[in-house]
Amino acid sequence: MKRALLWLLMVLVFTALVLGGALGFFYFSTGEDDLPASGVTFAGQLLTMPAGFDWKLPVLGGVLWREFSLSPILPSLELEPITTPSAALELSEDMTAGGTTLLLKTAGGVTVFDGTASEWKDFTFPQNGEYYLTIRAGRQASGQKPAKPVGYYQYQCRFWVDVQPTLTLPSGQAAQGDVAAIYVSGALGAGGAPPTAQCELGPVWFRPTQNGWLGYLPVAYNAEGGEWPITVTLDDATLSATLTVRSTEYPSVQASPGEAATAGANEEFRRVIWSLYGQGSNEALWTGAFQYPAQGASIFQSYGAYLYDGETSAGRAANLTLLTPENALAVSPAAGRVAYAGELQLTGNTVVIDHGCGVKSYLFGLSSIAGIKTGDEVAAGQGLGVAGRKLIWEVRIGNKSVDPQKLTRGGSNGLFYRPVGDELR
């Protein structure tokens, strides 16, 4: 019995020595040559020389771990200037976005980013200038079998950001009645003071995007065909572009003479409605194409039509006149905020919806207004009251009119332009 126990003990000791020797062999055979491949690409520039590292390498699939580390000893890498609002980060196959962190500071030591590589994808530089960046590119523990290396390489970089704004007209031409989009990209710090635009076609409201500003320029029915210069000023930068306006063939319509408006009615209209032209913000409330403001409506008089009283010119139509079924529901053409709801001597029951960025719908001639008041927020298609048999729908950006019918088609109209790769705000 004693011999059997002794023999068993010897076997256990021998096995322990063999396993220990094997573990020791594999442990000490794991060296720095087994570290994951280094090298990340930042803003198109390959970073091949890490300043330091801290890795744990699995031995025998994770039975043991061997650690290798080197405190950062190298100076910051000097990178080429970055001329884009954001900088792409590309990792080697042994690194993951969740296991990679970035710390970005200004030359004055102010932290402007501290997060993971996944979060970095949505980051844009707040302003031009000098920056210091620390990247810890690596992998987190995942619990997978066999185990993979866990740790990071540390890169230290110094670079300048020098982004200059550019002015783009997504469509270099627009027809009468259209809205032309004006895109200012590369405007770091967008969200502060918006750009200002000078163009004789009309006023421009700008809304902030992630990397710049997007503006809307009205091209009214009476804008002359040809080239129109546009000048945009943003901070110290002055940008220029030219928009080509195409003429549109508008019909001629015999208009029934109406009662002459009184001086008091005209004055009231100017005081209430004209005062709304200059009001607005760079907040856009609409999404997608507009809809007609009455159910079952048909077009009675198109936008831009030449109006005649007999053979005498009575002007041009800056609006769309709709023929509606009896007691048809009047609705908001798009989401917005009620800028006015009431009765005017000149236009009867009147509702004005502010869609943001200077874009407003003016609805004249409702039979009644119900369920809304000035200041209310309304959704697209929300009821406003009962439409009159002839409901007038006018859309203006500032004081310039555009064709409401074109806004119901969405598509290429500049009011629905979305910059590629640049999120709207």
Measured between alpha carbons, how far is residue 23 from residues 26, 28, 56, 194 in Å?
5, 8, 16, 66
pLDDT at 393 over 60: yes
Q: How far apart are CA 274 and CA 258, in angstroms?
A: 22
- CB–CB of 154/50 below 8 Å? yes
**pLDDT over 70, % of the chain:** 89
Residue 83: helix, strand or coil by DSSP? coil
CA quadruple 400, 405, 407, 412: dihedral sign: negative
Q: Which CATH number fits domain 252-408: 2.70.70.10, 2.40.50.140, 1.10.1040.10, 3.40.50.300?
A: 2.70.70.10
Residue 70: helix, strand or coil by DSSP? strand
Give the pLDDT score at 235.
Answer: 82
pLDDT higher at 36 or 225: 225
Residue 155, beta-bridge partner list: 135
Residue 133: helix, strand or coil by DSSP? strand
**Domains 166-246 and 252-408 equal at CATH topology level:** no
Radius of gyration of the chain (CA): 34
Could you tell me the pLDDT band of residue 127, with boundaries at 50, 70 and 90? confident
With a CB cutoff of 8 Å and minimum separation 6, the contacts of 414 are: 170, 171, 174, 178, 179, 180, 181, 216, 217
**Residue type, position 265, single letter:** A
Measured between alpha carbons, how far is residue 117 from residues 90, 156, 157, 251, 311 in Å?
9, 15, 16, 58, 71
Nearest one of 179, 176, 173, 251 to 221, comparing CA atoms: 176
Give the pLDDT score at 17.
Answer: 47
Angle (CA) 170-175-180 rounded to 5° is 35
Q: Which residue has the tokens 């009644």?
A: 368
166-246 domain in CATH 2.60.40.10? yes
pLDDT higher at 243 or 187: 243
* 8-32 mean pLDDT: 51
CA quadruple 216, 218, 223, 225: dihedral sign: positive
Predicted confidence (pLDDT) per residue in 200-252, tens digit: 999 999 998 888 899 999 999 999 999 999 999 988 889 999 999 999 999 99
Give the pLDDT score at 244.
Answer: 97
Could you tell me the pLDDT band of residue 93, with boundaries at 50, 70 and 90? confident
Give the pLDDT score at 142.
Answer: 73
pLDDT higher at 203 or 411: 203
* 22-43 mean pLDDT: 69
Cα atoms in the Cβ-side hemisphere of radius 13 Å centred on 4 = 1
Give the pLDDT score at 55.
Answer: 87
* 102-129 mean pLDDT: 93
Report domain extents, the chain.
36-161, 166-246, 252-408
Nearest one of 302, 252, 286 to 357, comparing CA atoms: 286
